[in-house]
Structure 1
């Protein structure tokens, strides 16, 4: 048991999660960026399996813990296209990453992604945001998804903004945990576990995964 626990702790020191990936970044590009630090055992970008839509995050698992630490120090905050990467140790489980995706309705119809970031960004680190727009007119529908890095941040946003009327708004916001979060969470962990298994088996460097982005 102690040996197993030791392996888990060691894996946690080598497996990284990379948030804020550019929408069009491929796993090959992600791998090419991180392999400059040291040998990479697995590299995956999280995507929707049906549509191939990038979720905007991925996982990189190094062979050595010191390379993972160096990658954080070297690549965290790196500007890539219109995104600034956030590189940190992956958390394969834990209460703090559950219930982090918010479903927001009654937003002003003239809201921009910049204002959405400003409105919700003060309560924590936004990992993903998706402002839904009408397919015909291209105008915002007053609905958005906002995912935070941690559950406590999402809860702070709910406490502060649910029922509040934003600037230029006419009705109170509805801010709650997204109902479909369970499916997304399952996909998230399935992707992490696949990356974990792949790294342990040593077969292949590229997989399939990612997160959404705006």
Structure 2
């Protein structure tokens, strides 16, 4: 496949863009990465994603696809090598279910921890922990969400690895440990060490700098309201 046939519009730090990078790597698809500045959105991004004006956008043979979970499904139907969705209809449904759970429940609750302080942090941690316990139960006895094979749900939930490490470092707390979350902790290690994943995470120091600044700005903004 010619490299120019596939383009990915994104930012270096976006967990949603990272999902697509992981899947492209797993499937062996070559692509051109176009870095976007979301404070100054390019005409290309506005053209290819006029509805949400967000990244990622995958452009395949001139046709744009937006929204990371939609892109993942498109990729699996387009490039059959190394499928990320299970063949079994029930397992496919479960992969979509856990991906949606991560998107609608886990991510907002962990983000609330990140943008909280003082007593609000403890309250936010309770909510986040409840969601993490649900994931812990689903992963019990399994290496990945679909068993022994890394797939759609793992890629969708892979942001947990990076976000939790950053949150723990910046806020000086422990959110996921081997004692309370043995299965989830093992999954994080298995996911991080999977070929094509381990070398794809953004530079940690650069991420820490970005998220420290972001947290301070968000807290300052909330403090003025």
More helix as a share of residues: 2
Of the two structures, which has the highest relative contact order with CA contacts closer than 8 Å and spacing of 6 or more? Answer: 1
Does the pair score TM above 0.5? no
Give the TM-score normalised by the residue count of structure 1.
0.29
Give the TM-score normalised by the residue count of structure 2.
0.28
